[in-house]
Structure 1
Amino acid sequence: MLSEAQRRAVLDFVRIAGVVDDLAQRFKSAGHELALVGGPVRDALLGRLGKDLDFTTSARPEQIEQLLAGWADAVWDIGRAFGTIGARKGDWVVEITTYRADSYDPDSRKPAVAYGDSLEGDLLRRDFAVNAMALVLPEKKVVDPFSGLADLTAKVLRTPGLPADSFSDDPLRMMRAARFASQLGFTVAPEVVAAMTDMADRIKIVSAERVKDEIVKLVCGAHPRAGLELLVDTGLADRVLPELPALRLEVDEHHRHKDVYEHSLIVLEQAISMESRIGDGSPDFVTRFASLMHDVGKPATRRFEGDGRVTFHHHEVVGAKLTAKRMKALRFSAEEIDQVARLVELHLRFHGYGTGEWTDSAVRRYVRDAGPLLERLHVLTRADCTTRNKRKAAALRRTYDHLEERIERLSEEEELAAIRPDLDGNQIMEILGIKPGRVVGRAWNHLLEFRLDQGPQELEAARAELLRWWREQPESAAGT
C-alpha cells in the first residue's frame, strides 16, 4: 500500500539513521525485539522525519539501560516508572519503551503501568491508527495491524480499537485528535467525532497543564481552524476554552453585526498569513492566540440600541480580562498572559486614527503602549479587517500603512522604542532637592508624559517643566 514516494521516505530514513541498525543488532543479539514506532514512522511516511526517534521493545527498562551503555553518548531514566529509557546518539534523541499493557482508573488518566508481551498488543493501546504502525528492526518490516497506512493515505484519524475505550482510558486523546487535525490537515472519522461529543465531559479529569500543551500545539499547527472547529463542534471547547464557542452569537434580525465566531477564525488565518513580519516567521503562539481571542469580550458587552444598531462598547477591555483569566486557569506563564491580554486590549486602538488625524504625541503613545508587542499589534490590527467591501478594506490598509510610515519616521528621529523622560531619577532628586520615594516616580511619569506630548526636549526645557510641575504639588509647599 506504500506509494513509491513513501517507500523512498522509509529507505531514506534507514539510510540517514544508520545508527538504528547498530542499535537493533544489539537488541537482537541479546534476544529482544525492537521496533521503531508511532510518530517517527508516520512522519517518515509523510516525508517530515525529525531527530526524535521512539522505539518499543520486549526488553525491560534495566535491560534497555544495559544495552544502551557503550552505544549512546548519554543515557537518562527519567521515564523509568513508565518503562522508558532515553538516550542521545550524535544528533539523534532516542526513547525506548517496554511493550505496554496498561490499565486505567476511570477517575484518572494516569495508568497503572503494566508491561505487555507483544508488539501488536502495544500498538493497540496507542491513540490513533496512523500512530499505531511499527517498523520492526533490523528486518525493516512494516507492522500495521490497524490499517494505519490506509488512514495515512486517506488523511483520516481513527482509533486502533473502539474510540470510546480509547478516550475512556485517556481523555487527553480527544484533544490530540483536534491537534492532529490542525498539524496534519487530517479529517477525523465520524465515529471518533461521535465519541468525542459523547465523552467531552471526561476531559475534566485531565490537568490544565496538559490541556494547555495541546491547545498551544493546535493553535501553532498548519491548519488551526480545523482543530478549533472540532473542539467547538464536539463540545470540548465548552470545557477547555468556553470563550470560543460563546462567540457564536445569534445574529440580530437586521444583520447589523458579523458572525463573531467566524470573524475570529478568519482573523486568525489572516494573522498567520502575515507571520513573516514577526521574528523568523515560525508559528507565533502569542499573535495567533490574541487573534483568536481578540473579540471574546463581545458577548458580555453586546447591546441593542434604540435605532437598531448593535454595539460592543469596551469589549477590548472586557476581552483582555477574560483572556487573562482563561490563560491563568490553563496555567500559562505570566509573561504569555500579559502579552496576549495586552494585544487584546490594544487591538481597537488604531481605529481612533481616523484618516491620519493623530498627533505625533498620539503616535508616540501608540508605540509606548505596545512596547515590544508593536510588530505583533501591527499584524493583529491588519488581520482584524475582514470586510468583503474591497474599497473599505483597501482604505484601511492604506491608513495603517500611513500609521506605520509615521512610526518609522518618528522612530528614526526620536528612538521611539526607548522613550524615556529627558531627566532621570537622580537628576529629578537633585533639581528638586528631595530624597528617593514616590514623589520621584510621580515626577518621572509626568516628564514621560511631557516627552510624549512634546517630543525630545533640551535639558533646560525639561528642567523648567519639572519645576513648573513641582510648584503645583502639595509636597512642594510642605518642603518635602
Structure 2
Amino acid sequence: MAWSRRRQLPSHPVSNLTQPGAALERLSFPAADELAERFAEAGHQLYLVGGSVRDALLGRLGSDLDFATDARPERVRELVDGWADAVWETGIAFGTIGARRRGTDLEITTFRADTYDRQSRNPEVRFGDSIEADLVRRDFTVNAMAVDLLRRRFVDPHDGMAALARRRLDTPATPQESFADDPLRMMRAVRFVSQLGFVPEPRVLDAIREMRDELTRITAERIQAELSKLLCGRFPRRGVELMVDTGLAEHVLPEVPAMRLEIDEHHQHKDVYQHSLVVLDQAIDLEEPENSPDLVLRLAALLHDIGKPPTRRHIPGGGVSFHHHEVVGAKMARKRLRALRYPKDVIEDVAQLVYLHLRFHGYGKGEWTDSAVRRYVTDAGELLPRLHKLVRADCTTRNKRKAAALQRTYDGLEERIARIAAEEDLARVRPDLDGNEIMRLLGLPPGPLVGKAWRFLKDLRLDRGPLEYDDAVAELRRWAAEQGITPDESADG
C-alpha cells in the first residue's frame, strides 16, 4: 500500500524562504508583463494578487492569473481590447474583466471595498482606490498578498508570507467578520486543509464552530463545488475530519458524522466513521497516479457505509447486524447528492457503487456460478474498475492473514471475470435475439411486450451464457406461451 505517496506533507519551496524575492524572480509570464506595462503607460496600477501570488510562492503557479487594479471595469476593457486574443465580461457586475493572451487566462478586477448585508453572501459591490484596502477584504492572509510585476514590489500587509511558510491559515480581519461577510469561506478553509495541507489557527477553528450554522445562507451549488475540490485534494481525509470536528459536516454531509456510532464494550463492530476514512485513504491509493483524482470513487468510498446507522440491530445473545445497509445506503447517497445538486451521472454512479460494494462478500464462500459473475459485471457496467478499487479499499482489517486472504479471493474473482469476458465479451452482453427478431418471431408490434421479452432473453443470457439460435428461439416461444402470447407460426419463414 503506497501510503507515502499521499500522506506526507508537500515540500514547498516557500518553507526555506524568508523573503519572496527568489520565488518572484522566477515568475515570468510574458502576457502578464506586457499587461503590466500597458496599465503603467495608461497611468494605472496593476498587481498580481491572491491565489496567484500564493501559488507562485509555492512553486505551483498555473496559467490562470488574477490581477487587481485601480482602473474601473470600462477602462480595463479599453486597455485589453485589441491586445488580448479574447475578452469576456461575465464578471463585469463584480468589477472583473477576463482576457486571454498567448494561452494565459487573466482575470482583472478593480480594487474592491465591498460591504455585505450579512443575510446572503452577495456583496454590495463598491470599488476601492488602494491595494491595501482591497487585500483586507480577502478570505485568508495567504491570499492577501500582491505583487507589482513592473517594479517587482511585494505587498504583504497581513504577514501572509509568514503564514504560508508555517502552513497556517488565518484571516486578515477577524474570522468572525470574514465568515459573517461570506460563510462559504468556512468551507474554503477546510478545502485548503485538503488541497495544501494547511492548519487553521485556533481562532479560525473557534469561529467556524461558533458560526457553522451561517452556512445555511449559501446555495447548495456553491457548497458542492467546495466539497468536490476538498475531496479531490491531496489530503481529503483531513478536510473531512475538520468538517466533522467543527460541525460543518452537519450542513454538508450529515450522514458522515452520523457514522460515529457508539461502540459497545465488546467491540462487536468497527468504528464505522473511522473505517470509512480509512477506506477513503485506501481508495485514493488505488487511483492511477497519472490520472486526475476520481471524485466518484472518493464519494463512494466516503459514503459506502452511511446505511449502517439506520440499519444497526443488536442481536439477542450478542452481536450486531446491518442487514441491507448497502440498499439503504444507496438511497441515502442518492438523496444527499441530489440535495447538493451534483450532476445526475455522478449521483447514479456513486449510488450504484454503494449498492454493489457488499456483493463481493458472497463470493468468498465459493457459491458463485458463472451466471453470478456475469451479473456482477453487468450490474457494474462501466463502473467495474471503480468497483474493483472500492471493494479492495473496503478491507480494513488489521489481521494480516485475513486481509491477504480477502485480496487473494478478489484476485481470483478478477481472473475469473477476465476469463469469462474473453470467452463471451461480457462488456457487451446482449440477448441472443434482438428486438426486431423478437417482433418477427412473435408477430408483435413495437411496445412493452417486446421489451419484456428482450429482458427475459437477457436474463437467460446472463444465467446460461450464449445460446445457439434455435435454443434461443425455443426459449422465447416457451416464455411467450407462459405469457399467453400466441406466436405467429408463419414468422419462421
Residue in structure 2 matched with residue 119 of structure 1 by the alignment: 131
Q: Does 1:345 align with 2:355?
A: yes
- The offset of 1:19, in angstroms, is 2.1
Which residue number corresponds to residue 55 of structure 1?
67
Shift in Å at residue 5 of structure 1?
10
Q: Secondary structure at the match of 1:35?
A: strand
Pair 1:12-2:26 in alignment? yes
- 1:324-473 superposed matches below 5 A: 324-473=334-483
Q: Tell me, yes or no, if the aligned pair for 2:442 and 2:487 is still in contact at 8 Å.
A: no
Who is 2:246 aligned against? Answer: 234
**1:91 and 2:103 matched:** yes
Say if 2:285 is the partner of 1:290. Answer: no
When residues 270 and 7 of structure 1 are mapped into structure 2, their CA distance, relative to the original with a 3 A threshold, is: farther
Contact 1:37/1:132 (<8 A) preserved? yes
Q: Note the alpha carbon deviations across 1:401-426, whole angstroms, 9 max, x for none.
A: 00000111111111101000000011
Shift of 1:7: 4.4
One of 171, 194, 198 as aligned partner of 2:210: 198
* Cα distance in 2 for residues equivalent to 1:341 and 1:375: 15
Which amino acid is 1:180 matched to?
F
- 1:367, CA displacement in angstroms? 0.3
The amino acid of 1:135's aligned partner reads: V
Uncovered stretches (5+) of structure 2, i.e. residues with no partner: 1-13
**CA distance in 2: counterparts of 1:376 and 1:411, whole angstroms:** 17
Match of 2:78 in 1: 66
Identical aligned pairs, as a percentage? 60
Partner of 2:46: 34
More moved, 71-80 vs 360-369: 71-80
Q: Is the Cα contact below 8 Å between 1:104 and 1:112 reproduced in 2?
A: yes
Distance 1:185 1:256 in 2: 35
> Alpha carbons of 1:357 and 1:7: their partners in 2 closer, same or farther (altered >3 Å)?
farther
Alpha-carbon offset, residue 272 of structure 1: 0.2
The counterpart of 1:152, out of the listed 148, 164, 173, is 164
TM-score for both structures, normalised by structure 1: 0.97
Separation of aligned partners in 1, 2:388 and 2:88: 44
Deviation at 1:182, TM superposition (A): 0.2
Contact 1:99–1:118 (Cα < 8 Å) also in 2:
yes
Q: Which runs of 4+ in 1 moved over 4 A?
A: 4-8
* Per-residue CA distance 1:24-78 (angstroms, 9 max, x = gap): 1111111111000011111111111101000000000001011111221111111
Equivalent residues of 1:176, 1:214 under 8 A apart: yes
| CA offset digits 1:65-104 (Å, max 9, x no partner) | 1111122111111111000000000110000000000000
Residue 286 of structure 1 aligns with an amino acid whose one-letter code is V
Residue number in structure 2 paired with 1:318: 328
CA distance in 2, matches of 1:152, 1:76: 32
In 2: Cα distance, 1:459 partner to 1:5 partner: 78
The answer to whether residue 174 in structure 2 is matched with residue 162 in structure 1 is: yes
* Structure 1 residues without counterparts, runs of 5 or longer: none
On the 8 A contact 1:183/1:223 being kept in 2, the answer is yes
Match of 2:6 in 1: none
Deviation for aligned residue 1:355: 4.3
* Pairing of 1:158-307 with structure 2 (within 5 A): 158-276=170-288, 281-307=291-317
Q: Tell me, yes or no, if the aligned pair for 1:364 and 1:416 is still in contact at 8 Å.
A: yes
Structure 1's 450 and 247: CA in aligned 2 closer, same or farther, altered over 3 A?
same
2:316 is aligned with what amino acid?
G
Aligned length: 475
- 8 Å contact kept, 2:442–2:488: no
C-alpha distance after superposition, 1:291-339 (max 9, x if no partner):
0000001110000110210110000011011111011111111111100
How far apart are residue 11 of structure 1 and its match?
2.1
Question: Offset at 1:467?
Answer: 1.0
Contact 1:6 1:47 in 2 (8 A): no
- 1:76 matched to 2:88? The reply is yes
Identify which of 2, 17, 24 aligns with 1:3.
Answer: 17
User: Is 2:441–2:487's contact at 8 Å kept on the other side of the alignment?
Assistant: no
Shift, 1:460, TM fit: 1.0
TM-score, length-scaled by structure 2? 0.94
Q: Which moved more, 1:452-461 or 1:46-55?
A: 452-461
User: Is residue 21 from structure 1 mapped to residue 33 from structure 2 by the alignment?
Assistant: yes
Q: Is 1:138 matched up with 2:150?
A: yes
